[in-house]
Structure 1
């Protein structure tokens, strides 16, 4: 087995498989529940930090600033909690979450551009089919050159948010389950977990949930192939940023905040464009994600999945 491709799982190999079926099932449930608990603890810590900042700056900071604070501190709090849990409870090095140093910057940048490319292709499919069309105005947010400043500023928040979700799902949950049981089950559970995290979002439905799970599968096989999470962190952050602040489309049901370079509105079939959930809720996104999964699978070492 290629060491580079397997080390995402190898970092947690001491999580022994449990021979007793009942124990195995209970431990699996506990692992998923633990992920939720650690996330909640991180959110609480992040909320406290934001509360302190709000008290120190009593004036209204505006929606863009509040959004950035939430992305940075709520998700940042979760990332810190998972790192502390790995280091002090599981007694592992934080790098086993997928933070291996080899080609870290190169892999992140490569992933970032892949994320933008995948979102761009999804938008082009919608445009070509007439299900989306560009406009020059948007309600409550700047569009075009006037939006460049806030668009770049909110990228900081997306970097933290996307990176944190990858730490939780592909950096921790995927390898813990993969090492204890098997990698296929780990992909299914971690991808489903990722989808469930968005269950309360605006305009969520069956196809949006399918696409979110497909994104999880794509990110999982990409991370396994890379043997680290730098690439998927870049993909995830760029995907959200491009969706909301380059093309002006709702991000998993959340409205555009801060500004956008372009603004695309639904103009035809919402089955293709995703409607109010954003492009992640449409078949255009499904096509891109399925192709992405097949491409990564073609070039990965299949032994990793055993």
Structure 2
């Protein structure tokens, strides 16, 4: 059997193959993050006695880096969508289409309810306890300023471009799983992560990706992503994937860590798995079952209309 030529692997019916676009996405985002991130670090350097401040969500260094990465993500996705994919920006799903506010708020509400359910179970079973937070106004502002660009960057990269292009090479199911795996692997460097944490982050990637494929809109997954993180960290004071942020209250997660998530947060817990499965059930009910996912080879315009 003849091995396919490189041009055959990275081209699809005379166009740039989606895998090649994904490679360019990664390279472009890394380059853009370096170009924009270095000035951000120079303007807001971490303290000499605490170089790990770059991982502190409330540090000026982290905030500047988060906005630099969002700028890089918008720039590279725009350039690739317009120049390489030859599509309008609307193909990403991030535009003010009719019903976008409803989609965004529905996602925020679902994310908030999912993590709030975990919080209720943990606190009523004495696995977790709370103490009052400090500076509530600062916590709320910080939650928006930090968590919104983080959610927007990841959704634009992983759903608005990566998943959309993988669905050109494989059908929706395969593309959905692949993008979720990549999304989970992105969090390998997070502190305190374990296998269950990566599994649950992958499940969250499936939830958000499924909603995106079915609706063609990025607003619901963006709202879900932000609503989960904001409620988890800012409102309830729990770690967000191993990273801490000031909250209105402080939640202390106890043993067993398999139930509470421990220092990583509820994404590393069995309860997190349960609410994600339930959330996926709701999303299928809202948007339709897997049979309606886009198939490989269907025109992009037809898939966009089907969403």
Work out which of the residue numbers 213, 219, 234 in structure 2 matches 1:230: 219
Asked if 2 retains the 8 angstrom alpha-carbon contact of 1:163 and 1:234, the reply is no
Distance of 2:24 and 2:181 partners within structure 1? 15
Larger RCO, structures 1/2 (Cα 8 Å, 6+ apart): 1
Structure 2 segments unaligned to the other structure (5+ residues): 12-16, 46-52, 296-307
- Summarize the Cα distance change of 1:104–1:299 in structure 2 as closer, same or farther, 3 Å threshold: closer
Query: Deviations 1:256-276 (Å, cap 9, x if unpaired)?
Result: 2xx210111112211011111
Aligned position for 1:194: 183
Kindly report which structure 2 residues correspond to 1:60-209, keeping only aligned pairs within 5 A, or say none: 63-100=58-95, 101-136=97-132, 143-144=133-134, 146-209=135-198
Q: Is the 8 A contact 1:50 1:69 kept in 2?
A: yes
* 1:14 corresponding residue in structure 2: none
Query: CA deviation digits over 1:175-202, x for unaligned, max 9?
Result: 1111232101110111011001101110
CA distance in 1 between counterparts of 2:39 and 2:114 reads 34
8 Å Cα contact 2:18-2:165 kept in structure 1: no
Q: Under a length normalisation based on structure 1, what TM-score does the superposition of the two structures give?
A: 0.81
Q: Secondary structure at the match of 2:293?
A: helix
Using a 3 Å threshold, how does the CA distance of structure 1 residues 151 and 77 change in structure 2: closer, same or farther?
same
Structure 1 distance, partners of 2:10, 2:199, is: 25
Q: What is the aligned counterpart of 2:36 among 24, 46, 50? A: 46
Find the aligned partners of 1:208 and 1:281 in 2 and give their Cα distance.
4
SS in structure 2 at match of 1:43: helix
Task: Quote how far apart the aligned CAs of 1:240 are.
Answer: 1.5
1:293 alignment partner in structure 2: 280
> CA shift at 1:28, angstroms?
6.4
Q: Provide the rounded CA distance (Å) in 1 between the counterparts of 2:249 and 2:35.
A: 35
Tell me how far apart the structure 2 counterparts of residues 154 and 46 of structure 1 sit (CA, whole Å): 22
Matched residues, number: 274
Equivalent-residue separation in structure 2 for 1:240 and 1:40 (angstroms): 24
SS state of the match for residue 193, structure 2? Answer: coil
Using the size of structure 2 for normalisation, the TM-score is 0.80
| 1:305 CA displacement | 4.5
Q: 1:79-110: CA deviations, max 9, x gaps?
A: 32222221223222111011241212222122
Closer/same/farther in 2, CA of residues 148 and 93 from structure 1, 3 Å limit = same
CA RMSD after TM alignment = 2.6
Pair 1:280 & 2:267 matched: yes
Partner of 1:36: 26
- CA shift for structure 1 position 161: 1.2
Name the CA distance, whole Å, in 1 between partners of 2:136 and 2:73: 29
Unaligned runs of 5+ in 1: 1-19, 56-60, 137-142
